[in-house]
Structure 1
């Protein structure tokens, strides 16, 4: 069995898509060993508990320094020793030590077609606001490996989504999630877990 650990910060819609894809056998031979959140109020934790998945809360707020938080997260990940770490809406930058300890074993979902609207400061609704401000006709989502930069790792899979007249950041965010994120993140996990080329 291929073990994954999902890191989450908010509502957990991508986590829900992964759980459903495992149930529907769209992701094969995979189990979610644990869900870790930096936010004790994240609804994603409720989703995990409802699916019988172990949850852990490791928040920077509970540590005197960022270094101590990074070490605690790394220590927990080493104990869990997953085959793959999935950043499913995790709004904390992963430390260099974690990236090095799990080289080519961490993936992230980003709500744009990288290299557009990515990097420092581009997360959540800010990505969609920037896309609308620029006037792009096509946006989408990208699953990529995590390296020591922000959204700079090797691209695994992308899916385009049309920007419609009258879109605001929230309607665009919802469509990108439904038409791209919730499809390509489970697909990437399945292919990585089962050794298929991407």
Structure 2
């Protein structure tokens, strides 16, 4: 059984897509063991509670320095003995020692077709604002492994989404979520869970 921890800062719509996929059996041999957020008001924590999943808030604001926050984050993650960590809109930089410890076991969903509109400063609506400003006709989403760079790890899955006439950043964000993010994130987890099951 693949034990998954989902790290999220906001509403948790990608988390919901994962929970729905586990429930429907699209993701088999896997369970979400914990949802961790840096934001105590994140609706994602509520989604976790509704599903009977541990909901944990660890905010950098509650620590006198970043190092102490990283210690607590890593301790909590270690305690759950996770096989896979999913970054689903987690707006906190992952400490390097965590990346080393969980090499090839941390994945991220990014709302563009990497290498376009990714890296430092590209998150949330900013990605879609940049895509529209550039005038691209196709955008999409990418699931990738996390390494020490920003959005630079090996790509697992990508899905393209058409940019339409009159799109606003908000409208484009919604379409990318519905047509790409909510589909490929569960798909990537299902692939990883299946691989683990085959190894077992």
Q: CA deviation at 1:121?
A: 0.3
Report the secondary structure of 2:140's partner residue: strand
Say yes or no: does 1:133 pair with 2:133.
yes
* 1:73-116 Cα deviation digits (max 9, x unpaired): 11111111201000011011101011011010000000000000
Moved over 3 A (4+): none
Within-5 A mapping of 1:43-192: 43-192=43-192
Root-mean-square deviation (CA, aligned residues, Å) is 1.1
Q: CA deviation at 1:71?
A: 1.2
* 1:11-68 Cα deviation digits (max 9, x unpaired): 0000000000011101011100000000000001111100110111110000000111
Within-5 A mapping of 1:17-36: 17-36=17-36
* 1:117-157 Cα deviation digits (max 9, x unpaired): 00000000000000000000000000000001110000000
Report the secondary structure of 2:195's partner residue: coil
Q: CA deviation at 1:173?
A: 0.1
Match of 1:3 in 2: 3
Distance 1:50 1:78 in 2: 24
Distance 1:106 1:28 in 2: 19
Distance 2:95 2:116 in 1: 23
Consecutive unaligned residues of structure 2, counting only runs of 5 or more, are none
Report the secondary structure of 1:103's partner residue: coil
